[in-house]
Amino acid sequence: MQSVLRGIPASPGIVVGPVHVLRWEVPEVRQRVIDDSEIPAEIQRLHDAFERARERLRHLRVRAEAAAGPEEAAIFDVQVSILDDKQLTESSEALIRQNLGAEKAFDLVLLEWRQHFARHTAPMLRERVGDLTDVHIRVLSILLDLPDHDPVDLPRGTNAILVTHDLTPSLTMQLDRECISAIATDAGTATAHVAILARSLGLPAVVGLRNALSYLHGGEVAILNGQEGTLMIAPTDAEIAFARQRVAEEAGQADQVRELAMSESITIDGVRITIRANVDVPDESEMAAASGADGVGLMRTEFLVVGRANMPDEDEQYRAYRRVLKAFGSRPVIIRTFDIGGDKLPIGGFPSEANPFLGWRAIRMCLDESELFKVQLKALMRAGVHGDLRVMLPLVVTVDEVRETRQLMEACVEELSARRVPFRADLPLGVMVETPAAAIASDTLVRDVDFFSIGSNDLVQYTLAVDRGNANLAPRFTPFHPAVLRLMAQVQSTGSAHGIDVSVCGEMASQPLAVFAMIGMGIRQLSVAPRAVAGVKRVIRGVRLAAAVEAAQAALASGTAREVETLLRRRLRAELDSQGREHSGLPALF
């Protein structure tokens, strides 16, 4: 049956390929009572399943080590060690001896273990729950003889479109990009981290499809269009030919896009806007450095951790930061300290808090785990000798967090001096403004920080009380709400009154209408995904500041997000037309 499923555009690009359905969920297990005579065979069945799971994990470990290195591969050791745990075997066997089928016995033990770890007071132990969940799924799938839906071992060379309910950032990091050409999820929104990561990795993606899984079995041919946010199932030959033609056309326009990306970022009347790149993984550095961006406005360091079993040590972090700095030469590189928590957790982590986005994350976790934080600060200070590095703190709500960080930095200076390694002690320190608290009270921060960077993804989430990753709320998640714009204007005015830089680094920074409004509000620095640099420059180079200022004033005085969007669209169109500029290539605009 042919059909077009509509979702939310998350990462541009068109892919024609077979669907690969991924269901990585703990299966339902029915109660099965066995006779006494069956007990020995059932225990043997459990042991055989464990052994098969171990074999599978060893195989995955070898693959992961070859593809991503020993640190990434270590997650599989953790899972093997769970299977080797004597207590796990003994508890499961005890239930089998009480006449339960092996799968139910194992299921009950794992449920209890997961609950126990989820409630553990040590946060790092709580984060082992995800490993337990993976082992739970893996062993039950073997015992129940279910199809193998392993998320990290997909058919090679198939150019597949991965369709799943949701992808955590850690699963996204583990995906084998040689097999997967695009991602489609039922959950998620354009600012969920799976979408942000897909854009970084250059994987076309559609999210928020809601019920694609109920239509699909796997193996169907489909066309995913990441720009339009659609997944077309069982297309006709003519539709496939048309999609392939569009892919070829886009490739043909690459030179033009490149030229635009390299052009000056300046309005018609000569106002210069700094465009920097968001870098999520160090592998992106060289590509981002050649994207036309004037430095890095946000490096999300948590992706060094997400998808891994252990925190990277100081040397490993130092090498990662140095790589980014070297790629960018003398251009500024703003590196954000770990924003772990929310939906960004290491492997094994799943939110064990009732409200993870209001929970123990980002700067809160780093300050509580100060040894872990100091490792990062020392790595940053050491990398600082290789370029223009600036440090940025996520989710700050009070100046105390900045002051505590400075104290830790002083302790790091002493430790590094004692070790006689080269480092920089005076790294500029800025904060992300991503809560109404930080925006409204930005004047209380201004004397202790060197710059502000507005994280619009979280600022929208916390201002409007709309979960950024919830597909059901996607239409309500909008940076054009006057409350969000007014908070941004307030931060900009505090920054300019005190002579400190204000930039914007959330996804809003690459939306044409928002770019127009932000320039008009006085913002002169934006940080966007490297592939978005050309589109943003296109808006900037097509408008005059005076028109942007008028549009921003009207937007700030509006009553609703819809009014704001309508007026910005009308005014930007009119401005581009009056300057004789093309706007057909600005998809997010119209």
Catalogue the active-site residues.
193, 505
CA 78 to chain centre: 24
Which segment (226-234, 249-257, 453-461, 536-544) binds Mg ion by CB under 5 A?
A: 453-461
In the chain, the amino acid numbered 272 is R
First-to-last CA distance in the chain?
Answer: 31
The correct pick among 282, 384, 455, 520 for binding Mg ion (CB under 5 A) is: 455
Asked whether position 455 contacts ligand PEP by CB under 6 A, the answer is yes
Q: Which does 505 bind (CB under 5 to 8 A by kind): ligand PEP, Mg ion, none?
A: ligand PEP
Q: Which does 495 bind (CB under 5 to 8 A by kind): Mg ion, ligand PEP, none?
A: none
| Surface-to-core class of residue 528, CB atoms within 10 Å of its CB (0-12 exposed, 13-18 middle, 19+ buried) | buried
Asked whether position 188 contacts ligand PEP by CB under 6 A, the answer is no
The answer to whether the beta carbons of residues 516 and 548 sit under 8 Å apart is yes
Q: How far apart are CA 337 and CA 589, in angstroms?
A: 33
Asked whether position 469 contacts Mg ion by CB under 5 A, the answer is no
Element (H or E) spanning 548, and its range?
helix 545-556
Q: Which does 131 bind (CB under 5 to 8 A by kind): ligand PEP, Mg ion, none?
A: none
Asked whether position 276 contacts ligand PEP by CB under 6 A, the answer is no
Q: How far apart are CA 255 and CA 538, in angstroms?
A: 15
How many residues does this entry show for the chain?
A: 590
Least distance (Å) between residue 115 CB and ligand PEP = 29
| Cα–Cα nearest to 509, from 488, 490, 482 | 488
The answer to whether the beta carbons of residues 272 and 548 sit under 8 Å apart is no
The HSE-up count of residue 581 (CA atoms within 13 Å, CB side) is 20
Q: Residue 127 has which token pair?
A: 């984060």
Strand partners, 272: 266
Our CB check for Mg ion shows the closer of 355 and 584 to be 355
Asked whether position 479 contacts ligand PEP by CB under 6 A, the answer is no
Which segment (24-32, 385-393, 452-460, 539-547) binds ligand PEP by CB under 6 A?
A: 452-460
* Mode of pairing for the β-strands spanning 230-233 and 3-6: antiparallel
Least distance (Å) between residue 207 CB and ligand PEP = 15
Write the binding mask 291 to 310 for ligand PEP: x where contact by CB under 6 A, - elsewhere: -------x-x----------
Least distance (Å) between residue 508 CB and ligand PEP = 8
Asked whether position 430 contacts Mg ion by CB under 5 A, the answer is no
Q: Residue 281 has which token pair?
A: 């993984």
The answer to whether the beta carbons of residues 267 and 519 sit under 8 Å apart is yes
Q: Which does 298 bind (CB under 5 to 8 A by kind): Mg ion, ligand PEP, none?
A: ligand PEP
Our CB check for ligand PEP shows the closer of 223 and 396 to be 396
Q: Which does 152 bind (CB under 5 to 8 A by kind): Mg ion, ligand PEP, none?
A: none
Which segment (100-108, 244-252, 455-463, 550-558) binds ligand PEP by CB under 6 A?
A: 455-463
Residues that bind ligand PEP (CB under 6 A): 196, 298, 300, 339, 434, 455-458, 505-506
